[in-house]
Amino acid sequence: MLINDYLTIAGIAYRRKLEVDSTIQANPGAFPSGPDDTQWTGELSICEAIIANVRALLSVQLLQLEFTSEGRARAVTPDALKGGDYDQGAHDEPFK
């Protein structure tokens, strides 16, 4: 898979995580009690695991995962490595 594929997956997971978080916060009385408790916590855990895996995959390539305000993922060279021997150029185009 290409970096773009991983960024697309991370962006989807991040946006879904934001949706689940806002649903939980909009209805705090229904969480964590009720039949949907397992569903919401499961979805949240899956989204966080996907994001963590993409972060790990990018870190091997000396890149960092960031999200735009629209929830799109992008890979960027960390500030500490910019301009040095490890600078691979900008991979900061946002992806869906």
The string of pLDDT tens digits covering residues 17-74 is 999 888 878 877 766 655 456 787 888 899 999 999 999 999 988 899 999 999 999 9
- Assign 96 a pLDDT band (cuts: 50, 70, 90): very low
Which helix (H) or strand (E) segment holds residue 67: the answer is: strand 64-67
State the helix-helix crossing angle for 3-26 and 37-60, rounded to 10 degrees. Answer: 150
The span from the CA of 40 to the CA of 61, in Å, is: 32
Q: pTM score, two decimals? A: 0.74
Q: Give the pLDDT of residue 2.
A: 84
Dist CA 50 CA 89 (whole Å): 25
Q: Averaging pLDDT over each range in 19-23, 87-91, 92-96, which range is the top one? A: 19-23
Residue type, 23: T
Give the number of other CB atoms < 10 A from CB of residue 49. 11
Given this model, what pLDDT does residue 66 score?
Answer: 94
pLDDT at residue 94 is higher than 70: no
pLDDT average, residue stretch 64-85: 85
Domain ranges of the chain: 3-81
* CB-based contact 28:40 (threshold 8 Å): no
